[in-house]
Structure 1
Amino acid sequence: MVSKAVVSTISLILVVGVALAVVAFVHHKNGTKSAGENLSPSMKAMIDICGMTDHQEICQKSLSPVAEKGSMDPKEFIKAAIQSTINELSKSMNFTDNLVKNVSSSARLIKMGLDDCKELLQFAVEDLQSSFSMVDDNDLRNMNDTEKDADLKNWLSAVISFQENCRDEFQDAPEYQSLMTKNLQDASLHTDNALAIVCNLGDILKYFGLEFNIKPSGGRRLLSEDGYPSWLSASDIKVLALQDNGRIRPNVVVAKDGSGQFKSIAAALATYPKNHRGRYVIYVKAGIYDEYIIVQRDQKHVFIYGDGARKTIVTGNKNYRNHKTQESASFSVLGNRFMAKSMGFRNTAGPEGHQAVALRVQSDRAIFYNCRMDGYQDTLYVQAYRQFFRNCVISGTVDFIFGDSATVIQNSLIIVRKPMDGQFNTVTAQGRARKNETRGLVIHNCRIVPEQELSPLRFKIQTYLGRPWKEYARTVIMETTLGDFINPAGYHVWNETSFALETCSYLEYANRGPGANTNRRVRWKGVRVINRREALKYTANYFIHAYYWLKGTGVPYLPTFR
């Protein structure tokens, strides 16, 4: 309590001091200027930078050590913002550790939630460290609309996602949810500030008399002479070239009948070499694999392919009754640059299982091609980072595509199933929590249809395109066929409240079919039909920067419109 009081006092003194400094810039009515002109250039820079954030007092406290040193290097201010976030998040991790030690062993779900929080916050710290290194190692003038700029915003957005995920672990335990919310409050505000500063990098450089280095047209070298992205390793290119010709040579083969090296996918993943570089290819022969798979964070560049989405299937039935939502997943991906082709993922808990995830993706630059995800509520958890789905089938009932990633789903079939009695269907529940997050869900050139069992009841059982899970939820549906069973209102409130109705975004462009008529859509501020120019921002090349990582993978995609 004493330490909190001291911090509060110091914060108050700082706020008052900064407020007086700002006032000092204001002209008096008689036209004279006050002593504020004597503020150092670095202190003025700090005030200007923090003016771009929503939590200015916290920002000024974070950046004041840089200003006090008289630095006029914008890189030092940005690094200070990120470092202060790391410090706050480390405190949150220590608090979570203490909670884990003190929780009763009989409170299994609470302990499970706390363990998940520890892991999520550790991932957040790692992303912050990557962000710090990115700023430290690069000339900020070269980060205008580049892969590095996209990575930086992606990592900081993921930090927010993980903090929100941690809080969500305790939605049925109000006491612990309140504890974690208070515990993460300072870290959340610092993260929000850091992301705001990065999103305003151009203005910050201008303040310091700098400008982005604009490369001449055609100067961006995305592809090497062999047609593959320049960031791919030689071994990766070799694997992808083989994929193009249909002659992939896997590292390991999985077969239930014993004709491969392993009978389970878990056993095959266990052979992933430490510090492996390049693709690690796993071929899974046809069969039903009843096992719970996690591709760990250090298992990067895994490519898993099967004999077809209806032939090679990973299945499970964990659900909300005995597991946390993310722990219910039949298949989870944490390692970056994961690829799956011709695979099926399902959760058979049924509608009565409520939250029951078939596939959870927390992998950056993840690709799913010719795959199938079947479940009911919460089928596909697009948890974080950047993801791409092409030629897939996704089925479910309530919020069955949800999460806080930057995800594009293209040329896919989205099947709405029959829910429990008394329920209505919602295709999406996007989880963007802060306005500066580079997150959202884009459904592009797809078809949204009812399953056979729902079809005769499709006008009795209501189906909506989405509802806002978090305050700045953002979903874009474009060039997609919408069936006649889509409720004309389009979107539904969250749990019968007015939550997020002023801040969420539901955007539609050039959709077709009877469900595409927008005349009777809900009259929320962020529900609107957009023009082609605005829609371009949500195409694959722009929204998830697909030109850096999809071209050359052998997976077809629409760079912009169809």
Structure 2
Amino acid sequence: MAARIVLTYFLVPFLLSSTIVGYNSDEVMSWCSKTPNPQPCEYFLSHDHRNTPITHESDFLKISMQLALDRAMQGKVNTYSLGSKCRNGLEKAAWEDCLELYEDSILWLTKTTSSKCTDYDAQTWLSTALTNLETCRTGFTEFGMTDFILPLMSNNVSKLISNTLAINKVPYSEPSYKEGFPSWVRPGDRKLLQSSSPASQANIVVATDGSGNVKTIKEAIDAASKRSGSGRYVIYVKAGTYNENVEVGKKVKNVMFVGDGIGKTIVTGSKSAGGGTTTFKSATFGEYP
């Protein structure tokens, strides 16, 4: 389903005091002028109690990532407190999405602050976090409910993440392939994908006709979540039509789904914004926090 979404940015009003809590005001303005959204950068940087020295752009990048993370965590707390203010079921559904999406964004933003995170990884995680917040807003706009809860959620997180993306400045590079697969796909996984008999490689087989271990994909995911160990868990879904909206939780790690091919293994659902479900939750097959 395609929809034309109008996104509205909200900026919490604030005044810059002539007395700067941490950094020198000239230093703050100099660094923040390099970002697409200098105003929130100036405010939150000048009120950053850590006051970490900024000598190089790499220092500014780390601080910007941390500021975005701090503000996202506060945004989640603020969003949670708004639950009791939801006026109806549709607003409640959009609000619940936002809580999940904030949790997800915090996870990705936390990854960017790790010393093991490369610039390329950071660009991916930051982009994902920013997309999550846009998806949060989309839930309200889909239901035509942008007049009450959504303005109360305004907190500058999107602008701070956009600033960090601009500072990171990682150019796009064409992906590399090996044997027809992206280079990051390991040899063992390539063999598994190329196998002519996926059932023999599977940990569990799903079949609507009862010829497998379980009849629904959900049952297979539940089994995967209860397994011991962290090795690859292969779920083979035999040919058939599966009328279910599949949700894979983030705690279900290292799971691979293998079907019988296009037009044979079919997973279909009927959730939509028209039926009272946000697009975020209408996915036929999705991963959720």
**TM-score, scaled relative to structure 2:** 0.77
Question: Matched residue of 1:170: which SS?
Answer: helix
Deviation at 1:61, TM superposition (A): 3.6
Task: Note if 1:90 corresponds to 2:73.
Answer: yes
Indicate the residue corresponding to 2:154 in structure 1: 184
Which structure has the bigger radius of gyration?
Answer: 1
Separation in structure 1 between the aligned mates of residue 31 and residue 17 of structure 2, nearest angstrom? 20
Asked if 1:296 corresponds to 2:278, the answer is no
Q: Aligned pair in 2 of structure 1 residues 243, 325: CA closer, same or farther (>3 Å)?
A: closer
Q: CA deviation at 1:182?
A: 5.0
Q: Any conservation in 1 of the 2:71–2:155 contact (CA below 8 Å)?
A: no
Distance between the aligned counterparts of 2:211 and 2:155, measured in 1? 53
CA contact (8 A) 1:120 1:163 kept: yes
Are residue 162 (structure 1) and residue 132 (structure 2) matched? yes
Counterpart of 1:56, as a letter, is: P
1:183-213: CA deviations, max 9, x gaps? Answer: 2341122112121111279xxxxxxxxxxxx
Which of 114, 121, 135 is the aligned partner of 2:102? 121
Structure-2 separation of matches of 1:170 and 1:98 = 17
Structure 1 residue 57: Cα displacement: 3.2
The residue number in structure 1 matching 2:113 is: 132
Alignment match, 2:64: 81
Match of 1:51 in 2: 33
Q: Do the aligned residues in 2 keep the contact of 1:170 with 1:177 (CA within 8 Å)?
A: no
Distance across 2 between alignment mates of 1:186 and 1:75: 22
* Corresponding residue pairs, total: 267
Q: Could you say if the C-alpha distance between residues 230 and 311 of structure 1 is closer, same or farther in structure 2, counting changes exceeding 3 Å?
A: closer
Of 219, 241, 246, which residue of structure 1 is paired with 2:196?
246
Note the alpha carbon deviations across 1:17-62, whole angstroms, 9 max, x for none: x9984xxxxxxxxxxxxxxxxxxxxx3xx54432220222322344
Once residues 308 and 69 of structure 1 are traced to their aligned partners in structure 2, the CA distance between those partners, rounded to angstroms, is: 54
- 1: CA distance between counterparts of 2:182 and 2:138? 38
In the TM superposition, residue 160 of structure 1 has moved relative to its aligned partner by 1.3
CA distance in 1, matches of 2:78, 2:147: 13
1:278–1:189 Cα change, 3 Å = same
Name the CA shift for 1:13/1:276 in 2 (closer, same or farther; >3 Å): farther
Structure with the higher strand share, 1 or 2:
1
Distance 1:265 1:51, change over 3 A: same
CA-to-aligned-CA distance 1:248-283 (integer Å, 9 cap, x gap): 401110112221111111100111146854532111
Determine if the alignment matches structure 1 residue 13 to structure 2 residue 22: no
Q: 1:259 to 1:20 in 2, by over 3 A?
A: closer
Aligned counterpart, 1:483: none
* Counterpart pick for 1:258 among 189, 196, 210: 210
Q: Partners of 1:318 and 1:200 in 2: how far apart? A: 37
> Alignment partner of 1:272: what SS?
helix
Query: In the TM superposition, what are the counterparts of 1:389-404 in structure 2 within 5 Å?
Result: none
> Shift of the alpha carbon at 1:113?
1.0
Over 3 Å counting, the alpha-carbon distance change for 1:77 and 1:157 in structure 2 is same
Q: How far has the Cα of 1:223 moved from its partner?
A: 9.7
Pair 152,181 (structure 1): closer, same or farther in 2 beyond 3 Å: farther
Larger RCO, structures 1/2 (Cα 8 Å, 6+ apart): 2
Residues 64-108 of structure 1, C-alpha deviations (whole Å, 9 max, x = no match): 45895545254443222112112222222122212213335xx22
* Among 60, 80, 85, the residue aligned to 1:102: 85
Q: CA RMSD in A?
A: 3.5
C-alpha change, 1:116 and 1:228, in structure 2 (3 Å) is: closer
Q: What residue ranges of structure 1 are gaps of 5+ in the alignment?
A: 1-6, 22-42, 139-147, 202-221, 336-562
Aligned to 2:278: 324
Please give the per-residue CA displacement for 1:390-435, whole angstroms capped at 9, x wherever unaligned: xxxxxxxxxxxxxxxxxxxxxxxxxxxxxxxxxxxxxxxxxxxxxx
What stretches of structure 2 of length at least 5 have no aligned partner? 1-12
Q: 1:187 to 1:178 in 2, by over 3 A?
A: farther
Q: Note the 1:421-500 alignment, pairs <5 A.
A: none
| Residue 151 (structure 1) aligned with residue 121 (structure 2) | yes
SS of corresponding position for 1:171: helix
Shift of 1:128: 0.5
Which aligned pairs between 1:366-405 and structure 2 lie closer than 5 A? none
Shift of residue 131, structure 1, vs aligned partner: 0.7
2:248/2:287 contact within 8 Å kept: yes
- Indicate the SS of the match to 1:303: strand
Alpha-carbon shift at residue 119 of structure 1 (Å): 0.2
1:196 maps to 2:166: yes
> Between Structure 1 and Structure 2, which shows a larger proportion of helix residues?
2
Q: Distance in 2 between matches of 1:282 and 1:194?
A: 38
Using a 3 Å threshold, how does the CA distance of structure 1 residues 240 and 200 change in structure 2: closer, same or farther?
closer
Q: Aligned with 2:18: secondary structure?
A: helix
Q: Which amino acid aligns with 2:221?
A: L
Partner-residue secondary structure (3-state), 2:257? strand
- The C-alpha deviation readout for 1:282-322, integer Å capped at 9, x for no partner, is 11111111122112223344321222322221122222222
Alignment partners' CA distance in 1, 2:177 and 2:274:
49
Aligned ranges 1:58-77 → 2 under 5 Å: 58-64=40-46, 65=48, 70-72=53-55, 74-77=57-60
Q: Taking structure 1 as the reference length, what is the TM-score of the superposition?
A: 0.42
